[in-house]
Copies of this chain bind each other. A is one copy, B any other.
Amino acid sequence: MNSKRAIPTLHDVATTAGVSTATVSRCLNFPDRVSPRTKDKVLAAIEALGYSPNFGARAMAARRTNTIGAIIPTMENAIFARGLQAFQEELRLHGFTMLVASTSYKPEIEEEQIRSLVSRGADALLLIGHDRRPEIYDFLETQGVPALVTWAFDAASHRTSVGFDNQRAMQEMATEVIKLGHKKLALISAETANNDRALARRTGIYQAMEDAGLPPHDLQVVETSYGIVEGANAFGEIMGRGQKPTAVFCGNDVLAVGALRRAREMGISVPQDVSVIGFDDIELAQVAYPPLTTVHVPHREMGQKAARALSRLLLEGIPLEPTLLKTTLVYRNTLAPINF
């Protein structure tokens, strides 16, 4: 039947509409530069043929794609989802399309994905965190693809970032916790290798301890990969040891929710027996039981600002500017003073 009907091209549309390919192309790209009558003919032909422009050819001829790539560690949880959603929505307003790729927190995969998105013609890239091989940045430079770092902020880095200060945020929280009398602290951290955010958060706690005259060395740290179950196990490990902490920091809310769950299973009351602190303030944090005390990160704002910055750069040539976003402490029900 219709089996081997060839895919319609610009040329087919032009023939059907009785115009040149240039006109069809303009009709698609600059509708006002075409007379209404012609436009109608062309659109009718497009509709009749079921034509769809070939992106590759278009990208090659136009040397841009109106596409921005975002490379995130994982889509499996909400941490990046919300910010990304905002990023996409804002991008859409400016006529850009977002392409997402995920890396499972593996640097090799990240490099692969960066190359893949660049080769797919991404006009710019959104990256998470600063930490990657300089070769990658060189590559991006060679390819002329601007990249914006988010979810972290480092004024020192020459890579522009729109993000927040992971270390300071965690340090603020830790300072508050210490003020409440907690001295025996533990941290369930995401893996710090290749993850500057996790590292910065840990450093923030060390810093707060030092400032308070506590030996940083005393912080019990368990590193684990992402996931509720992983958080639960890490919590079990920590509370199973001799030296039980009175406050357990978690590198992110997902781990914290896991900790909360294991606490319940172990019959440990939060916050009476132990305080649990999260990071990120994703939806999960409010829903957890008890509702989680955590550090709020303005994910939506971050996504939106990142999108604006990139559109401005691409559309108007306005250079990227480092932007520091404020985090806030959200007190809910998992943190209590010691000996209350």
Interface set of A (CB-CB < 8 Å, partner B): 2, 5, 7-8, 49-50, 52-60, 74-78, 81-82, 84-85, 88, 97, 99-100, 102, 115-116, 118-121, 138-139, 141-144, 227-228, 257-258, 261, 264, 283-284, 286-289
Contacts and interface: CB of A to CB of B under 8 A. Distances in A.
- Closest 10 CB pairs between A and B? A56-B56, A50-B142, A289-B289, A56-B59, A55-B119, A55-B120, A56-B60, A52-B119, A76-B81, A50-B139
A261 B333 CA distance: 14
Contacts of A2: 141
Q: Which of A50, A77, A115 has the most CB of B within 10 A?
A: A50
Contact of A261 (B85, B88, B228, B287): B287
A65 to B, nearest CB: 8
Indicate how many identical chains form the complex.
Answer: 2
Contacts of A75: 75, 81, 84-85, 100
Nearest to A264: B289
Contacts of A7: 142-144
A325 B54 CA distance: 36
Contacts of A284: 284, 287
A143 B78 contact: no
Contact of A78 (B57, B76, B139): B76
A99 B102 CA distance: 10
Nearest to A3: B144
B8 A142 contact: yes
Q: Which of A56, A57, A74 has the most CB of B within 10 A?
A: A56
Contacts of A55: 56, 59, 119-121
A49 B115 CA distance: 14
A102 to B, nearest CB: 8
Contacts of A52: 115, 118-119, 139, 143
A255 to B, nearest CB: 12
A118 B51 CA distance: 11
